[in-house]
Amino acid sequence: MRVTIRLRLFQPGAFQVGALGIGLAVTAAVCPVARGAEHVTLKNGFELDCVRREPVGDKVRLYFAGKNAGTGEGSNYLEVAADAVVRVETVEDVPEPVIGMAMEADVVSLKAPPTKLEMHAMLAQAGAAHHIDEDLLASVVRAESAGQVRAVSRAGARGLMQLMPETASAMGVEDSFRADENIAGGTAYLDALLNRYHDNVALALAAYNAGPRAVDRYHGVPPYRETREYVARVIREFNRRKQLSQISQAR
């Protein structure tokens, strides 16, 4: 049965980055620390507002407005490779918090992301509806938007699972900035890709990133650096979540 196949695929360690031959070495110089609110553009097209940047080894932490954002303690941040930052622009106003903000029960704000509990419920519901592991969906959300409800890519993809307008429309999504609709639409689209590629997760993820035509053209994961890094990133995050789950259960 299809569900059994998917459950067998989604086991800890089932997906290994090395098997795809994908390297993620970083050699760029460290980005300087920011002094004020900034609009940051990443190499993959994401545009983020942060209150400051901080170099951490060969990576940079982008801190978002919120609790203790000025010091980093207890604040929200996204860690990226130093060379992933292609442009930084100063903005006049400090942005509203974009991660970890509380919300009223059963209300999804256009400005604030869902709480961890709400996100868990949405991913679990979508995963159950399409027989897809919740941890895989969570890994896609992390890779696509870092949990930002209002994320918009340079190409125009929107929301948590970065749906293009035409994809959102095809999946019945009316508002890509509503977390529940975006997750439902993104999961339905991933389900369609898994069906198309006979539950081959790597191919489905590659098609989610680069489009089915690219995967069909190359008869596998396309030789695009962005796509290969994307597939590796999702798989690595999925394995990390499963390993943490195993450790938690062992305790």
Contacts of 24 (CB under 8 A, 6+ apart): 17, 229, 232, 233
Annotated catalytic residue 144: yes
Cα–Cα distance between 147 and 160 in angstroms, integer? 6
| Residues paired with 90 in a beta bridge | 38
Cα–Cα distance between 79 and 60 in angstroms, integer? 6
Q: Provide the 8-state DSSP code for 83.
A: G
Q: How far is CA 222 from CA 206, 230, 237, in A?
A: 7, 11, 21
In the 3-class helix/strand/coil scheme, how is 18-40 assigned residue by residue? HHHCCCCCCCCCCCCCCCCCEEE
User: Which listed residue (118, 134, 144, 181) is catalytic?
Assistant: 144
**DSSP calls for 182-194:** HHHHHHHHHHHHH
Q: How far is CA 182 from CA 57, 126, 165, 234, in A?
A: 34, 10, 11, 18
Question: How many Cβ atoms sit within 10 Å of the Cβ of residue 207?
Answer: 25
Tell me the catalytic residues. Answer: 144
